A = this chain, B = another copy of it.
């Protein structure tokens, strides 16, 4: 074994150390004590080696960023700000202490971007690496999936599909030396969250973790409306041409990446005159219309083969 549990905890304590006044009792006691408001937003997200990430595809730093981003994104999608994170990690014991340190640094990097503190967690031994994080945040008025109104427009905080494109390059072991391919690989390994977008006036919102189609379906069901996706609007997004070029090169339907690819952690919102990318509208009815997919979304379920 390359390390002891104490060594790991000591490394993590150093990396996650903070003098932020929100943290009243930090790592080292049975639990952390933090300042909270009268309402808190709580969400958890788990990533498993060879299911959600592969060691040969992503660096420890990027894996740390990605799992943290997935958790933070669920807070952002409630119109919230992420304050605190915990990270529990099952390690096989084959990792180097350096790898673990880089994982923690990736978590810290994304947490810093979000303005969040990593305040606790657990270390366990497992057959595969499993990373489980919980995010606690706050919002003056949480934005739910159920708030979409007939007459709203439908928006993305930025174009989806990049993560699916990266996955395709890695799965098919295709190496393309271009800035576009590089962006796809980077978005797969550690998606960039749209921290700067102001969706505070959105009526309904979700984070596109499964796919635009799945999250749109969830908003439609929760709000009892129909979401009409407009492929012409999507095709008019400036970035669409770049992604489309890569799709053509790989002989893939670009709409499949954009609408049915997962793990972009882009925000999907309804409302009036929102920033971001307009991709459709909200009408009376149910479900989603306006799209013809060649295949069902790839990430429909982890358990259906």
A residues 135-155 in Cβ contact with B at 8 Å: 135-137, 139, 142, 144-146
A86 at the interface (CB under 8 A from B): yes
Contact of A1 among B120, B122, B139, B304 (CB under 8 A): B304
A residues 28-75 in Cβ contact with B at 8 Å: 28-48, 50-52, 73-75
Q: For A135, give the chain B residue with the smallest CB separation.
A: B31
Q: For A41, give the chain B residue with the smallest CB separation.
A: B31
A88, B132: Cβ atoms closer than 8 Å = yes
Q: For A138, give the chain B residue with the smallest CB separation.
A: B36
A179 at the interface (CB under 8 A from B): no
Size of interface on A: residues with Cβ below 8 Å to B? 76
Chain B residue numbers with a CB within 8 Å of A46 are 88-90, 122-124, 130, 132
B42, A120: Cβ atoms closer than 8 Å = yes
CB distance from A237 to the nearest CB of B (A): 23
Chain B residue numbers with a CB within 8 Å of A121 are 44
Contact of A45 among B122, B146, B302 (CB under 8 A): B122
Copies in the complex: 2
Contact of A126 among B48, B74, B137 (CB under 8 A): B48
CA distance in complex: A4, B301 (Å): 7
CB distance from A85 to the nearest CB of B (A): 9
A39, B24: Cβ atoms closer than 8 Å = yes
A273 at the interface (CB under 8 A from B): no
Chain B residue numbers with a CB within 8 Å of A41 are 31-34
Q: What 1/0 flags go to A103-146 for Cβ under 8 Å of B?
A: 00000000000000001111111111010101111010010111
CA distance in complex: A121, B51 (Å): 17
A176 at the interface (CB under 8 A from B): no
Given contacts A44-B121, A91-B303, A136-B136, 16 further A-B contacts (CB under 8 A): A1-B303, A1-B305, A3-B303, A25-B78, A29-B146, A29-B206, A30-B77, A33-B40, A35-B40, A51-B124, A93-B303, A122-B132, A125-B302, A126-B128, A126-B130, A127-B128
Query: What are 5 A-B contacts defined by CB distance under 8 Å?
Result: A4-B303, A30-B78, A35-B40, A88-B134, A132-B132
